[in-house]
Structure formats: structure tokens, C-alpha cells
Amino acid sequence: MHSSSSQGHLERRLKNRHIQLIALGGTIGTGLFLGSAGIIELAGPSVLLGYATGGLIIFFIMRFLGEMLVEEPNAGSFSYFANRYLGRFAGFLAGWNCVALYVLVGMLELTAAGKFIQFWWPGIPTWVTAAVFFVLINGVNFINVKAYGEFEFWFALIKIAAVLAMIAAGVYLLFSADRPEQTVRNLWTHGGFFPNGFSGLVMAFAFIMFAFGGVEMLGFAAAETDQPRTVIPKAVNQLIYRVLVFYIGSMAVLMSLMPWTDLLGQLKAGGDTYSSSPFVLVFSGLGENTAAHLLNFVILTATLSVYNSMVYSNSRLLYGMASEGNAPRSLMQVNRRGVPVRAIVYPAIFTALAIVLNYVAPAGVLELLMSLIVAALVITWTIIIVAHWRFRRAHVARKTVLGFPAPAAPLTNAICLAAMALVVGVMLLTPSVRSSALAIPIWVLVVYGAYRLVFRQRPTPVLESVLEPAHIPR
């Protein structure tokens, strides 16, 4: 990968600190701060076990992706690996499904930002806030990759520091305040740790996995980091510990400070489960108004951080797809600062639909987007799991000494595939998101139809070039 943007290439200007924070930027956002409300309703305190299980599954998936990226860092990430190890249609599907996924996530984050602004100014329509932040974030990404990296670094740093501070403040209140209702016993005294039974936790599993969506975008930064073989393993390995601390630690403190039943009652008093953040409500309910306002600001920052990452990841994905022939070649065009401008503009046109949706029908937008995102995530993660399976087989056949091998593969591949099947099963059993699960095969067929129209030929044989010596960028 050349460094000269004048030759139409991305620039390697992301450092280790950028990659470390980008790895967290896509995971600590709406899924934790707003989406956790629906999970608490289904699972109660057992959400802690759910996050631990989901975090382990995501860790395995990221190790699969990390193993492939260390050997072959490429801007197309898993789209590139699907194309190379599963066949051209798999690469086409992986890429365009992820483009749709990140557009949906962008729409979700813009909508969520409007909800958080309404904590201070209830009269401001969600669509107005969405429009303002849409312009701001896309403008930052037009500057250069270093500007994106710096913007994301500070966004992510603020929210990480704030979540840790919130956990510390919550622990302090638990052990210092003379309030008998604030106790860790709240985790098992209000209907038990499994208030809706183990089935309640299972039924929440699809939404738990949604909370980890975005972690895979680390792969898109691989082509623009100056030391991929050092930085990527470190980012992947540290990710699991950090995410589990943030999710499990923050939720444990949250449900200890206020019984989950009381928290759920306050959430529903706002009109629906997703009307506001559980974190802000807890501190407001405790009379800690300053903390609530600060936390709401941080949550807003976190939401914008995720949208920022989605804009960046989508543009680099489209760049990589164009280089593979799975997207128009014009998307590879970059300006003199190394920014693929068209690859930013085209997804932004569709993301702008969030503004229209929130103007026309503001109620129910969040839940609709969340269910569609889960469906797209299942496709993305399944492709990563299977592509890694074939990648490992191909490299074992070549007797490659892998620099960052995933643990216990292919057993862990099978476990992760079973988890994806469970997510789809849960969606089919949940009336509010069943249509999203049923849409998965329809969406795959639509993409296949587009693929045949574009290439007007039968799909290339699977693993056609896998046993040829790989060109591995260093």
C-alpha cells in the first residue's frame, strides 16, 4: 500500500493509539447506553451473564478476523477475505451487506443523538438534531484520515473515561451513601437473577449481540495503520477485556443503584422503553443532577463517535470493494489528502433518510433500525466465521506459520456459528423483530440478483486462487 495519495491510494497515517480507540469506538454507543433498556426488560439482572457470553463470542470472531488481517491487511477487510476464500459472490454479499449495515447504524446513531439532546431541550425535533450532526460528522471525514483518527481518538477517550468514572461513582455511592435501597442485593432480590427465567435471557440474546455490533470495523483501519502486524493483535486482544469491563461493570453498578424493576418503570413512563438512557435516569433518580447532565453529554459524544466510525468504515469498505471489482471503480478515486470522497458521499445520501424518517414517523424508528441491524450483523459475522474457516484450511495446506492464530479453531468457528443460529432463532420467536429475520434470505437473494446483473456470469469457483501464493502486504 503506497503512501502517496496522488496515486490514488489510502494513506498509512493511523497510529497505535488511534487503532486502539477506534477498536472501542464502534462498540460503546447506542447498544450500551440506549439499547440496554430493552435487554433489561427481557432479562433483568441476568443481562450480566448475557453480556459475558456475547462478549466471548465476539472475541472469537475478532480473533478470526485478526488472524486474517495480520497475514493480509487489506482495506476491504472481511469483504476481501470472503472474495478470496469463499468466492466472488460471497465477497460481493459481504461488502454490500456491510454497506447497508453501516448506513443503518448511522441512521440509528443520528436518531439516538436526537433523543439525548431532548434530555435538555425536549422541544427540539429529532430530525433537526440528526441533520446538524449529519453535516458535522461527514465534514470531519472529508479532511483526511488523520483528522478522522484524532476526532475518534478524543471522542472515544471521553466516553471511556466517563464510563469508568460512572462505575467509580456508582461504587462510591453503593458503599458510602446511607441508602438501603442502593445495594448489590438488587441483582438478585427483585425476582431473582433470572426474573423471567433462563428463557428471558435467551430471548434477549439477539439484542445483546446487537450491543457488540461495530467491533468488526477495526479491520477497515488495517490498511491505514503503519504497523499492522503489531497493532492489530494488540487491539484485538485488549478489546475483549475493555468491553467486558465497560458492559458488565457499568450494568452491574446501574442495577445495584436502582432495582431493575424501578428502572424499567421509569423508562416506560417516558412513552416507550427506548425513550431515554437508563444511565441518565438512574443518576437523575438519585438526585445527582450534575452527574446526569454530564453523563448525558458523554453518551451524546459516544453516539457521535460511533457515527463517525461508521462513516469512515463505510468509505474504506467501498474503496476496498472497488479494488476487488465488487463496486464501481470510481469509488477508488481519492483527493490529494488521501480521502475517498465519493465513497463518503454515496452512503451519506442514504444515511440522510434518517432525517426524513424522524420527520415523518419519529415513533418506533429506533426499534425498527435495531432489528434490521441485528439481521445484517448476523450475515456479516457468519461470513467472517466461514471465511476464516476456509482461510485456515488453505494456510494449513500451505504450511503457513500464522502470526496471530485464533484459539481452538475450528471448534470455536462451530461454536460461533451455533451462536449465530441462536440469534436468528430468537428473532423468529420475537414478534417485534421477526420480519427482520425473515428478511435475511430475501436480502441475500436481492444481492445475488444484483450480482448476476452486474457480472452476467456464473459465480467464480470457491477457493479458485486460494492455493496460489498470496500477496501479503507488509
Q: Among 93-102, 215-224, 261-270, 415-424, where is mean pLDDT lowest?
A: 215-224
Tell me if the domain spanning 16-397+406-453 has CATH number 1.20.1740.10: yes
Instruction: Identify the band that residue 176 occupies on the pLDDT scale cut at 50, 70 and 90.
Output: confident
Least Cα distance to 403 among 32, 124, 68 occurs for 68
pLDDT value for 276? 61
pLDDT value of position 198: 92
**Which sequence spans correspond to the domains of the chain?**
16-397+406-453
Distance (Å, whole) CA 149 – CA 360:
34
Do residues 331 and 340 touch, judged by C-beta distance below 8 A?
yes
Stretch (H or E) spanning 173: helix 145-176
Say what the alpha-carbon torsion angle 43, 48, 53, 54 is, to the nearest 10 degrees. Answer: 80
Confidence at residue 9, expressed as pLDDT on a 0 to 100 scale: 55
**pLDDT, mean over the chain:** 80
Integer Cα distance of 278 and 255 in angstroms: 10
Hey, what's the cell of 153?
481518538
pLDDT > 50? residue 3: no
At 319, the amino acid letter reads: Y
**Quick one: pLDDT band at residue 474, thresholds 50, 70, 90?**
very low
Give the separation between CA 283 and CA 173, rounded to whole angstroms. 11
Note the pTM of the prediction, 2 decimals.
0.82
What confidence category does residue 195 fall into, taking pLDDT thresholds of 50, 70 and 90? very high
- Highest mean pLDDT out of 138-147, 322-331, 351-360: 322-331
The pLDDT score that the predictor gives to residue 5 is 42
CA separation for the pair 35, 278 (Å, rounded): 9
Q: Give residue for cell 503506497.
A: 2
Q: Report pLDDT for 389.
A: 95
1 bridge partner residues = none
Q: Which of 145, 123, 302 is nearest to 220 (CA)?
A: 145
Average confidence (pLDDT) over 103-109: 85
Closest residue by Cα to residue 140 from 295, 327, 348, 294? 348
The pLDDT assigned to 169 comes to: 82
- Give residue-wise pLDDT tens across range 281-307: 777 766 667 777 877 888 788 788 888
Task: Indicate the pLDDT class of residue 93, thresholds 50, 70 and 90.
Answer: very high
| Mean pLDDT of the region 59-84 | 87
The total of other beta-carbon atoms located within 10 Å of residue 414's CB is: 13
Q: How confident is the model at residue 6 (pLDDT cuts 50, 70, 90)?
A: very low
- Beta-bridge mates of residue 225: 14
The reported pLDDT for the residue numbered 224 is 60
Other CB atoms closer than 10 Å to residue 10's CB: what's the count? 24
Q: Residue 174: which pLDDT band, with cuts at 50, 70 and 90? A: confident
| pLDDT of res. 270 | 57
Residue-wise pLDDT for 453-467, tens only, equals 888 754 444 443 343
CA 152, 156, 23, 423 dihedral sign is: negative
Look at residue 363 in the predicted model and tell me its pLDDT. 60
**The three three-digit cell numbers of residue 466, written as one number:** 486460494
Kindly list the distances between the CA atom of residue 371 and the CA atoms of 14, 87, 95, 185, 432, in Å, as whole numbers in the listed order: 33, 28, 20, 33, 8
Asked if residue 91 has pLDDT above 70, the reply is yes
Quick one: average pLDDT of 330-347? 83
Least-confidence region, from 68-82, 266-280, 326-340: 266-280
The per-residue pLDDT for range 405-459, each reduced to its tens digit, is 999 999 999 999 999 999 999 999 988 788 889 989 999 999 999 999 888 754 4
**Which stretch, 17-21, 111-115, 127-131, 458-462, has highest mean pLDDT?**
127-131
Query: How would you classify residue 10: left for phi > 0, otherwise alpha for psi between -120 and 50, otherwise beta?
Result: beta
Mean pLDDT within 363-392: 86
pLDDT of residue 35: 62
The three-class DSSP label of residue 273 is: coil
Is the backbone of residue 463 left (phi > 0), alpha (psi -120 to 50) or beta? Answer: left
Confidence of residue 60 (pLDDT cuts 50, 70, 90): very high
Judge contact between 152 and 309, C-beta under 8 A.
Answer: yes
Contact assessment for residue 381 and residue 217, using Cβ atoms and an 8 Å cutoff: no
